[in-house]
């Protein structure tokens, strides 16, 4: 039985190079900062670490990664991918940080910025252990549509053989939201993934799957395994069959493991209006 602890998930930041960057009508860097401020106050005091499930920047420029690094106060340390990095941002000082890539991330640039000891050959698959739980960070690739690469399957197989309780972290989703365009991004080979998890002695050790990519929060049980998705810290989407961007408040999750059971509490971040004093003065 693992120790009890909590951790925070954020996802899909789509950051630009400056505090005023806008993407699809959404002030993505501003809402990311608001999310950090909110979780520092309400969730971080209970959490052992923070993990982002990818799409850190969009497009993946060095300037975007530098802005993120400065905002977190997360200088590259001695950790290889996926961390932990140690943050120096006020309110989050010393909180360990794990970073995963999404389809919009440049894996080589991301490692140069945060994990210079890691040399990604292609995908970034890795695991870390925390208080008796093995976190598998699985990489379905740099395209909108997921692909089950051999590296992912090997990492999954190693984790399943560890005998430890598992939390499986990933960017892409592995479960349908009943949205035609979004569901098309699920890997064609997803059944092989679920078959690996559904071996008789395996399912009970999987505490849950946490994902990003959809920009929409959901909670489902698939083959007996709890599966969570999370609204982005940037724009979200209407839950319909065609792509339609929706502007809404960012969300994040505080996960807790108690007595070997993983549960989630969803937080929504209020957005104070941006101070337009400077704009007014210019006019
Ligand atoms: Fe995204």
Judge residue 36's burial from the number of C-beta atoms within 10 Å of its C-beta, 0-12 exposed, 13-18 middle, 19 or more buried: buried
Residue 155, token pair as written in the block:
């990492």
- For ligand 1, the distance from its centroid to the CA atom of residue 115, given in whole angstroms, is 21
Q: What residue ranges do the domains of the chain occupy?
A: 5-282
In the structure, ligand 1 is a single-atom ion and the residues with CB under 5 Å from it are 12, 55
Phi, psi (rounded to 5 degrees) for 4: -80, 135
Determine the pLDDT at residue 92.
97
- Amino acid 202: pLDDT: 87
pLDDT in tens, the chain (283 residues): 889 999 999 999 999 999 999 999 999 999 999 999 999 999 999 999 999 999 999 999 999 999 999 999 998 777 899 999 999 999 999 999 999 999 999 999 999 999 998 987 789 999 999 999 999 999 999 999 999 999 999 999 999 999 999 999 999 999 999 999 999 999 999 999 999 999 888 888 999 999 999 999 999 999 999 999 999 999 999 999 999 999 899 999 999 999 999 999 999 999 987 655 444 333 3
Distance 185 CA to ligand 1 centre (A): 12
- The percent of residues above 90 in pLDDT, for the chain, comes to 88
Topology, domain 5-282: Purple Acid Phosphatase; chain A, domain 2 (3.60.21)
- Are 232 and 29 spatial neighbours (Cβ–Cβ below 8 Å)? no
Q: Using the mean position of ligand 1's atoms as its centre, give its distance from the Cα of residue 234 in Å.
A: 8
For residue 87, the CA-to-ligand 1 centroid distance in Å is: 23
Q: How far apart are CA 146 and CA 171, in angstroms?
A: 9
DSSP conformational letter for 280:
H
What's the gap in Å between 161 CA and the centre of ligand 1? 31
Q: Which pLDDT value is given to residue 186?
A: 98
pLDDT number for residue 201 = 83
Say if residue 72 is exposed, middle or buried (CB neighbours under 10 Å; 0-12, 13-18, 19+).
buried
Name the packing angle between helices 62-72 and 107-114 (round to 10°): 40
pLDDT score recorded for residue 274: 61
């Amino acid at each position: 039985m693992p120790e009890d602890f909590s951790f925070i998930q954020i996802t899909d930041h789509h950051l630009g190079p400056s505090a005023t960057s806008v993407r699809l009508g959404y002030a993505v860097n501003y809402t990311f900062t608001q999310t950090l401020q909110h979780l520092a106050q309400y969730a971080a005091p209970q959490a052992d670490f923070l993990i982002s499930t990818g799409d850190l920047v969009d497009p993946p420029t060095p300037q975007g990664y530098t802005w993120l690094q400065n905002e977190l106060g997360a200088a590259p340390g001695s950790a290889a991918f996926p961390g932990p990095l140690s943050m120096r941002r006020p309110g989050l000082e010393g909180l360990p940080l794990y970073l995963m890539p999404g389809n919009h991330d440049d894996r080589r640039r991301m490692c140069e910025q945060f994990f210079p000891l890691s040399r990604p050959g292609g995908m970034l698959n890795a695991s870390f252990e925390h208080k008796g739980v093995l976190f598998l960070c699985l990489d379905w690739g740099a395209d909108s549509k997921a692909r089950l690469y051999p590296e992912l399957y090997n990492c999954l197989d190693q984790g399943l053989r560890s005998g430890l309780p598992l939390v499986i972290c990933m960017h892409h989703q592995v479960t349908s939201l009943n949205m035609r365009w979004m569901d098309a991004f699920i890997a064609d080979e997803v059944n092989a993934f679920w078959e690996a998890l559904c071996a008789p002695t395996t399912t009970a050790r999987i505490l849950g799957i946490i994902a990003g990519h959809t920009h929409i929060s959901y909670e489902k049980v698939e083959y007996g395994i709890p599966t969570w998705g999370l609204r982005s810290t940037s724009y979200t989407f209407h839950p319909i069959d065609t792509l339609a961007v929706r502007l809404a408040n960012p969300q994040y999750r505080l996960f807790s493991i108690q007595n070997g059971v993983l549960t989630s509490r969803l937080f929504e971040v209020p957005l104070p209006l941006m101070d337009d004093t400077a704009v007014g003065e210019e006019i």
